[in-house]
Chain A
Amino acid sequence: MSAVRLYVWQRLTATLMVPLIAVHLIVIIYATNRGLSAAEILGRTRGSIAWGLYYGLFVIAASIHGAIGVRGVAREWLGWREKALDRLMWIFGTILLVLGLRAVIAVVGT
């Protein structure tokens, strides 16, 4: 995949994740400060379309962003060829996406 395309997608997902991460951190601080139990948290998230969309988007963005980042690290540190790097990127991104979406389903699914 061309360098500029990877660059655009990584910057785009980074921009998207800035507000998502901020909200995510606020939610963590809120939940721990209020001493919410796992059951209480799940009670608020289960069945919520908003939380599903929010974390679903977060997982998609993080999977794309992280996969491109790992590709870059492998390119510089391991010196892999382009084809192998693309394969690594797709496999790593897919694993992140599957694991992430599974977690989202567990949190918002009823």
Chain B
Amino acid sequence: MSGAAETMIDVRVWRGAGEGEYQAFTVPRRDSQTVLDVVTWIQRHADPTLAYRFACRVGVCGSCAMTVNGRPRWTCRTHVSKVIEDGRLEIGPLANLPVIRDLAADMAPFFDKWQKAEGTFVPSRTRHEPLERISPESAERQAADAAIECINCGVCYAACDTVRWSPDYFGPAALNRSWSLVNDVRDAGNLERLAAAASNGGCHNCHSHQSCEQLCPKGLNPTASIAGLKRRTMQAYIRGEIT
């Protein structure tokens, strides 16, 4: 495509931090163009001061999530053709997080909540002991694997109504990670993890709206993970292991 025949996209991009406004750009339409391509085109050809974040460009690193036409998306794997509405794109930073500048959201609260949810592996063996043999077919391993492919992009966190209403809520990603570890037979930190999941920021905040499941770019189902945590925390409570 070139010259007068070129199709253009009307793009509105968020500029500023907490206070700011959408700025209009006209970007040439390309075949197989992703939303990240559009943002990159703007920075390279229209305004080099545009701040945004990306790294791998192939859906592995989870850096490039933004709000596209009102919904959080991983922009490197989101084709413009899938999300464009009436020839327009509105691109903003991820919701439910502070904005550093333009399209770059501050991910610190998101990762702080992973820590609060005890989302780190606690080994049950030392390096001096032999490796534990885990069958990939075992029910526990399959349950752990079902939630493990998270790339920490923050799409579910930005999509979650409950995070918006309850700033203390850990959110779908942290609890999904927690559920993966709860099912990991090699892990020794479940009591602390279930106590965290049962705390005020934990799994009982979830209303099962399932926006996380609908928008997760990896096709994970954090709502199901959180439902699992509700069951396990209830069992632990009844057994008197947590209060």
B183 shortest CB reach to chain A, Å:
19
The residues of A that contact B242 with a CB separation of less than 8 Å are 2, 4
A78 shortest CB reach to chain B, Å:
11
A30 within 8 A of B: no
Closest to A10 in B: B204
A7 within 8 A of B: yes
* Interface residue ranges of B172-228 to A (CB < 8 Å): 198-200, 202, 204-205
Instruction: Decide if A8 touches B238 in the complex (CB within 8 Å).
Output: yes
A53 to B39, CA, bound (A): 67
- B contacts with A, residue count (CB < 8 A): 17
- The SS class assigned to the A binding surface is helix
| Other-chain residue from B162, B165, B204 in contact with A7 (beta carbon distance below 8 A) | B204
- Contact A2 B243, CB 8 Å, known A8-B237, A76-B166, A82-B200: yes
The residues of B that contact A4 with a CB separation of less than 8 Å are 198, 202, 204, 233-234, 236-237, 242-243
Q: How large is the interface on A (under 10, 10 to 19, 20 to 34, 35 or more residues)?
A: 10 to 19
Instruction: Decide if A3 touches B204 in the complex (CB within 8 Å).
Output: yes
The residues of B that contact A8 with a CB separation of less than 8 Å are 234, 237-238
B230 within 8 A of A: yes
The residues of B that contact A82 with a CB separation of less than 8 Å are 200
A75 within 8 A of B: yes
- Contact A5 B200, CB 8 Å, known A75-B166, A76-B165, A76-B166: no
- Contact A3 B198, CB 8 Å, known A8-B234, A8-B237, A8-B238: yes
List A residues at the B interface (Cβ < 8 Å). 2-8, 11, 75-77, 82
Chain A to chain B contacts (Cβ below 8 Å), 11 pairs? A2-B198, A2-B242, A3-B200, A3-B205, A4-B202, A4-B236, A5-B243, A8-B234, A8-B238, A11-B234, A76-B162
